[in-house]
Amino acid sequence: MKVTVVGAGAVGASCAEYIAIKNFASEVVIVDIKENFAEGKAMDLMQTASLNDFDTKIIGSTNDYSKSAGSDVAVITSGIPRKPGMTREELIGINAGIVKQVSENLIKHSPNVIIIVVSNPMDTMTYLAYKATGLSKNKIIGMGGALDSGRFKYRLAEALEAPLSDIDGMVIGGHSDTGMIPLTRYATRNSVPVSQFLSEERLDEVAQATMVGGATLTKMLGTSAWYAPGAAVSAMVQAIATDSKKIFPCSAYLEGEYGQSDICIGVPCVLGANGIEKIVDIDLNEAEATKFAASADAVRKTNGLLEI
């Protein structure tokens, strides 16, 4: 399995590191536009191989996509992150041009690649990559829900004073401060609904903290987060590499599912060797369905700013 990670910044490097440490890929190519930056990150990471016990070969490239040729999976993390006080949607002006150009470069050298989009505003960038590449819809996957679900589980464990490994929960909808939908009704502690342990008010607080999880960290760090984003992407790449058929909430191109069409937005997906192997249709109650429709309206509004 050959993986290309475009963007050698905070998220790209973290993602490349986790992929290497998990040792499931033979090669990781990191591409960045900044002269020698990806080469430097690759060399630094390779010098951890004997310490962290992996055999993955990591190479860097300054904007030379021929090095990425024949990639099975590519991750797009190139673009600017938000600063405290900004929304992800405000990044569209700069990131749309970058994501379009990067997607086109990737498929020139890897026509069968599966692309995972990370750059923000992620649902809109995923839609843009889908339109720009003409790849089949199972091969364009946006990463947001896996990260948001990690944050949801962290907040649930905190509220329950329980070990994180006891918690299950999922976030669907758009990857935005107001659009994500933590599915508290489906969240469990060791298969018991969390509503048996937490009041509705406390669950609302958990959902709110989850939704602003990215903004909270951006305020603390001065730029957006990278460890959990890198871990979320690497888990998705691993599911594809190992054909695991695990369910991840991913931004997927919808054609009628969840009442939506011609949009990429977070829904539960089975990931395997073909990318998105199935969009899983779960029952939403009226309140959840209303939130999903509003979230889709907001993503569609941002998509409207694209020039495609």
Ligand X SMILES: O=C(O)C[C@H](O)C(=O)O
Ligand Y SMILES: NC(=O)c1ccc[n+]([C@@H]2O[C@H](COP(=O)([O-])OP(=O)(O)OC[C@H]3O[C@@H](n4cnc5c(N)ncnc54)[C@H](O)[C@@H]3O)[C@@H](O)[C@H]2O)c1
Active site residues: 175
Q: C-beta of 13: minimal distance to ligand X in Å?
A: 15
Q: Determine if residue 189 is labeled as part of a ligand binding site.
A: no
Q: How far is the CB of 56 from ligand X (least distance, A)?
A: 25
Piece of the chain touching ligand Y by CB under 6 A; list 45-53, 71-79, 193-201, 271-279: 71-79
Minimal distance in Å, beta carbon 190 to ligand Y? 27
By beta carbon distance, the residue nearest ligand Y is: 9
Measured distance CA(304)–CA(48) in Å, rounded? 44
**Per-residue contact track with ligand Y, 109 to 128, x per CB under 6 A?**
---------xxx-x------
Task: From 58-66, 81-89, 184-192, 198-206, give the range in contact with ligand X by CB under 6 A.
Answer: 81-89
- What secondary structure does DSSP assign to the chain, as a single string? -EEEEE--SHHHHHHHHHHHHHT--SEEEEEESSTTHHHHHHHHHHTTHHHHT---EEEEEES-GGGGTT-SEEEE--SPPP-TT--GGGGHHHHHHHHHHHHHHHHHH-TT-EEEE-SSSHHHHHHHHHHHH---GGGEEE-SHHHHHHHHHHHHHHHHT--GGGEE--EEE-SSTTTEEE-GGG-EETTEEGGGTS-HHHHHHHHHHHHTHHHHHHHHHSS---HHHHHHHHHHHHHHHTT--EEEEEEEEEESGGG-EEEEEEEEEEEETTEEEEE------HHHHHHHHHHHHHHHHHHTTS--
Place of tokens 């505003």: 121
270: which 2 tokens?
Answer: 């089975």
Stretch that binds ligand Y, among 223-231, 237-245, 256-264, 272-280 (CB under 6 A): 223-231
Q: Is 206 annotated as a binding residue?
A: no
For ligand Y, the closer of residues 74 and 194 by Cβ is 74
Binding residue (CB under 6 A) for ligand X from 7, 179, 214, 268:
214
Identify which of residues 90 and 205 has a Cβ nearer to ligand X in the complex.
90
68, 124, 224, 260: residue in contact with ligand Y (rule CB under 6 A): 224
For position 224 contacting ligand X by CB under 6 A, the verdict is: yes
Nearer to ligand X, 138 or 251 (CB): 251
Q: Which of 41, 67, 82, 100 binds ligand X (CB under 6 A)?
A: 82
126's tokens? 């995923």
| Binding-site residue set for NAD(+) | 7-12, 32, 95, 118-120
Q: Which residues bind ligand X (CB under 6 A)?
A: 81-82, 88, 120, 147, 175, 214, 218, 224-225, 229
Residue numbering of the annotated binding site for substrate: 82, 88, 120, 151
Q: Which residues bind ligand Y (CB under 6 A)?
A: 6-12, 31-34, 37, 77-82, 91, 95, 98, 101-102, 118-120, 122, 143-144, 147, 175, 223-226, 229
